[in-house]
Structure 1
Amino acid sequence: MRNFSSDLRRFLRPLAIASVIAFGALSSSLAQTAPADSAKTAAPAEKAAGGAAPIGDSKAGEALFKANCTSCHALNKRVLGPALAGVTEKQSREWLHKWIKNSPAFIATGDKDAVAIYEEFNKAGMTPFPQFSDNDIDNILAYIKVEGDKKPAAAAGSGAATADAAGTSDGGISNFMIFGLIAVVVIAFLVILVLNRVIGTLERLLLKKEGEVILPDEQDDEDAEPKDRLATVKKLAKNKKLVFFVVLAVTITLGSFGWMGLWNTGVQQGYQPVQPIKFSHQLHAGTNQIQCQYCHSGAWKSKNATIPSLNICMNCHKYVQATEKYNGEISPEIAKIYSALDYNPETQKYGDNPRPIEWVRIHNLPDLAYFNHSQHVKVAGIKCQKCHGPIQEMQEVYQYSPLTMKWCINCHKETQVNSKGNPYYDKVIAAHDKIKKGEKVTAAVLGGIECGKCHY
């Protein structure tokens, strides 16, 4: 039997090696065919460009285009300005030079095409670029020519790729051969696994039958008495002192966890829900240094900080579309704003079907607690970061502070009141002075007739 086992294992080794070689050959073949396929698709792309070679360096033009043009233009899509693919065929090079360097002056000359574009885009003039040399503009136009012509080439390349996928490419490896090699490798490994299991079973049966080895896990000892595995546990259970201390420890542990659970009930520190739009405070409040009150204007004058309306977003994002980061396409998050407002960025007009953005509230206080933002922000002059944490560093906002009663009381104990030049505290100090002089102080003097005392 041992000879049979060794012979069978000697047979399996070459089979495993052959499987590894087949798998390696498959990987090598795929790696070699990839450049050939790319070379095939490159040739039609070059042909698709067709015509005379553009004047200028497209590589240098790419850097200039992305740095100066992508905020308003895309190659194959209208953004704030028209799509630029094919513009070198529509207009002469001299015309484009005049338009790019100073479009307002060019429009003032009464050029028919310049005036038509100006009227088509709601009389929104293009930014002049007098700093561009003729060579810079030629480089940009070369980039537009090369990249704009790649769209039909890509379509032709996809057709060629489809033909190769069907197994009709010349000189390449067919899909049948690739899947055949994969099937051989998978079957070989399955055979190896099955045969190894069979060999192990046969060896154990043979050795047990001949009496050469008695395996511990298969030993049949019918005469031995069964062991009581719970004897140690039963012995410890009879120790009253040990049982007492175990019960006491369990009670203290459970009580501690229960007490902590009661204290943390309703506390949502670290709460970070998924919002419908990935608004980055790090970008807006941090990098761009936009003041908090620009969006949350209610924090300065009312109880609530208020959620900014989408009109505030459009003050910037009617023009800022981050197209330079998405290959000329509008940012997906900015597109959500347009969709909610039913706004068409191409025509710059609003539709009749707007809908609200369903933001998820992060900071929640119970109804029994009254908190006034203006009292803290305007009167006390407290910074937003005192409660909300380093908001200018948060990519996604989360609840920084616990917002518990203990946390608020500790803040009130530690925060020093600055009454200088503050009309609110001037009234309080004046009331205290009246009390010291023995004068009558009514509730109205202390602000008892203010609307917010009762209505909020």
Structure 2
Amino acid sequence: MRNFSSHFRSLLKPLALAGIIAISAVNFSFGQEAAPADSSATASTAPSAGGGPAGDAAAGEALFKSNCGACHAIDKRVLGPALAGINQKQSNEWLHKWIKNSQGLIASGDKDAVAIFEEFNKMAMPAFPQLSDADIDNILAYVEEAGAKKPEAATAAGGATAAAEDTGVSSFMIIGLVAVVLIAFLVIVVLNRVIGTLERLLVTKEAEQNVYVEDEEAEAEEKDRFRVVKQLAKNKKFVFFVVLALLITLGSFGYMDMWNTGVQTGYQPVQPIKFSHQLHAGTNQIDCQYCHSGAWKSKNATIPSLNICMNCHKYVQATDKYNGEISPEIQKIYTALDYNPETQKYGNNTRPIEWVRIHNLPDLAYFNHSQHVSVAGIECQKCHGPIQEMEEVYQYSPLTMKWCINCHKETEVNSKGNAYYDKVIAAHDSIKKGEKVTAAVLGGLECGKCHY
């Protein structure tokens, strides 16, 4: 129905145009019927073609086309001027001279020849000495005859129009055609309203059908929600790439977890006594080896005994911060030693402080503090971080094999003034001299080489 409506409406303009053409055709036909009645009058009023050059127009047409047609036309300007009416503008004698030798006529100073030469950008017409006077007369006769045809045709058309205006039959036909057009217009309007009503009904029907189809599609989608998943599961390439991606992802996470196993960077346990390294090593600037005396002479840095604490806290009790009372943390030291601050005597009910170890290497790793502190001269902060700023100590470095190896690659050995390397250098010098070097010379008799 929609296609019919659109096609029908597209025919309205052609139908209206056809009606206009039909009216014009009727007017023209009646004008033609009236024209013969006045043909004699038209013929009698036509201008006479006499008085022109005495030549053969038929022969002149062939000569004009072969010699003049390239540059001239009868009724329009080409390279040269239009030739219609040239016989009335110039004399026959002048035309003969111009055609045979236009350049000579210009050179003689002829006013008309010079004016034409100037008008056409000083382009002289080629001379035609091969044409005889009879040939030129024939050409001029053809030009006059061809130029007279168009005015006669225009006069005949004017007479036919006047005859059509005088007839009364054409007016009657026009009124009839107008009535037919009006009736057709009314029919078109009525049909258009009917088509509009049918279209609205059709649209309503299609909307109802679309709603029904959408409901069916929605129900079908609800019934088969996993249709796409089922299709992808049948695709072997897709399944392969999904499994591969899962393996790579899970493997990456597993590798990272395994790599970080045993790494306790940032580990900060709660200690039984809130000992502040910031206060002791930072503010009071107590050397690390005063408490950890084993760091410069043994494998272990050692945990300081409470006797070392009592060297200071037998007298330092921080009572000014606790309203004359002994600091609770210092009191814990006294309690562990069964020490009475009033009598300054120790009892027999002593018990150790259970410190929680922070830096803990696996049993398979051998680390010697004296080798790094005494021999290499490495500061405690290199491994333990800014210990003088820590209120509570935490593990600063990862202490992994990779971390240790990178440090050994970057640290430069300074052997000057170091007794440990003096023995090694002496052994190397002996080897260079070819002397015998035993394992004992290289420290093979030290117990720690085997027993650690």
Larger relative contact order, structure 1 or 2 (CA cutoff 8 Å, min sep 6): 1
- Select the structure of larger CA radius of gyration: 2
